[in-house]
């Protein structure tokens, strides 16, 4: 190859030059080609400027790649349940007492041996590594700095329970996605217990769903294979049948290896709540998985009263799905919940500002709860009873 030929191969062609010039024009501010015209593109505020949880959602949107943001933000199907989880709070009103109790509201409580300064925990959520380089360690540090808020570590976290437990932090629980073969559950359960897990939370509300919008859309574009397999792993409408084996005897079997309190997560009916009591569960979590599983289920909040009535104080009742504000938490407490678990909210904090973001979000929610209790005239969690709430569920 001659020198002239080599220079010609490395030179800029007219096509490449034109493409670069057009790219420059599209990226110019006046062209507006890079703007999403449906969103406000004002400057994203710093941590000190965050005033409520929804400010963090906007910050996370700007800082995370779209796939990561969408995984946290979106729900299953038409997202009716995801929207309903938020709308349900509009159906519960708080009725303040004209003359309230004296003193600063006391929010400390204890659930299944775990002491907490506020009736707030972090719900388990997957793969924090995509949100921040510190992964779940950042989330855990944020929890410690916010009154040592208890954290439930997901079975599909970016870090093992043993790794996280080595860090000086607050109370830790472990969430388990159970396996059909009993012995396959032993290693994660015993590892978590040996590392100090305060409880094991067994998720049972994901029997037949794998949520990933991008994967779903890609599957719809594929040609179905022939013949289709009955387990749903072929064809355009794929789903996981790996959890369709669940039976209530699961908990009796797990009890042979669980030495700490065990809870069932995913209860939405009074019948299932009664079965949980019958089968020896130490607690339940009222949850529809944040609207990420079956669409068109009721919100967690609207089924909470009937579940609390069925349980009748025999075991603690926790709740998650849709909680954003301190007043949301007070509504759940008034309807009988013992504590509230936050899922998406701390993910926004971690994704936008790391551990300090998690801390700030929890501090905001905690202060909002104190403010709501003060305005309602209640100075203790025991006083946050049904007399505070007026419900108008459809």
| Residue 216 annotated among the catalytic residues of the structure | no
Q: What H or E segment, with its residue span, contains residue 375? A: helix 355-376
Alpha helices in 28-79 (DSSP H): 53-63, 66-73
- Helices 53-63 and 355-376: crossing angle in degrees, nearest 10, is 160
Query: Using CB atoms within 10 A of its CB, is residue 215 exposed (0-12), middle (13-18) or buried (19+)?
Result: exposed
Among 365, 376, 388, smallest CA distance to 53 is for 365
Helices 300-311 + 326-334 axis angle, to 10: 30
- Least Cα distance to 390 among 347, 335, 348, 312 occurs for 335
Greatest CA separation for the chain? 94
In whole angstroms, what is the distance from residue 28 CA to residue 275 CA? Answer: 62
* Per annotation, catalytic residue among 128, 132, 155, 289: 289
114-116 and 109-111 as β-strands: parallel, antiparallel, unpaired? antiparallel
Catalytic residues: 289
């Amino acid at each position: 190859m001659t020198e002239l030929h080599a220079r010609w191969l490395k030179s800029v062609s007219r096509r490449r030059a034109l493409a670069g010039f057009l790219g420059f024009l599209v990226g110019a501010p006046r062209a507006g080609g890079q703007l999403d015209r449906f969103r406000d593109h004002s400057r994203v505020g710093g941590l000190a400027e965050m005033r409520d949880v929804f400010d963090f959602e906007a910050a996370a949107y700007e800082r995370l790649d779209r796939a990561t943001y969408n995984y946290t933000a979106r729900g299953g199907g038409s997202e009716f349940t995801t929207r309903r989880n938020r709308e349900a709070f509009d159906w519960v009103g708080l009725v303040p007492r004209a003359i309230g109790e004296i003193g600063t509201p006391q929010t400390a409580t204890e659930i299944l041996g775990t002491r907490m300064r506020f009736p707030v925990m972090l719900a388990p959520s997957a793969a924090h590594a995509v949100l921040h380089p510190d992964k779940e360690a950042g989330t855990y540090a944020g929890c410690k700095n916010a009154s040592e808020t208890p954290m439930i570590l997901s079975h599909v976290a970016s870090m093992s329970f043993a790794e996280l437990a080595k860090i000086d932090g607050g109370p830790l629980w472990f969430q388990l996605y159970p396996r059909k073969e009993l012995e396959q559950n032993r290693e994660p359960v015993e590892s978590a217990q040996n590392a100090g897990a305060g409880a094991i939370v067994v998720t049972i509300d994901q029997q037949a769903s794998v949520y990933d919008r991008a994967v779903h859309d890609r599957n719809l574009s594929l040609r179905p294979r022939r013949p289709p397999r009955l387990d749903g792993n072929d064809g355009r409408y794929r789903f996981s049948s790996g959890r369709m084996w669940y039976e209530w005897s699961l908990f009796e079997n797990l009890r042979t290896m669980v030495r700490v309190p065990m809870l069932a997560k995913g209860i939405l009916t009074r019948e299932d709540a009664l079965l949980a009591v019958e089968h020896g569960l130490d607690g339940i979590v009222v949850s529809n998985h944040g609207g990420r599983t079956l669409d068109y289920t009721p919100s967690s909040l609207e089924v909470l009263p009937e579940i609390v009535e069925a349980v009748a104080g025999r075991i603690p009742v926790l709740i998650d799905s849709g909680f954003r504000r301190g007043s949301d938490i007070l509504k759940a407490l008034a309807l009988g919940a013992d504590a509230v678990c936050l899922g998406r909210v701390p993910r926004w904090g971690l994704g936008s500002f790391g551990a300090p973001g998690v801390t700030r979000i929890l501090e905001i929610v905690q202060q909002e709860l104190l403010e709501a209790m003060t305005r309602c005239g209640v100075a203790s969690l025991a006083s946050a009873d049904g007399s505070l709430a007026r419900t108008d569920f459809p």
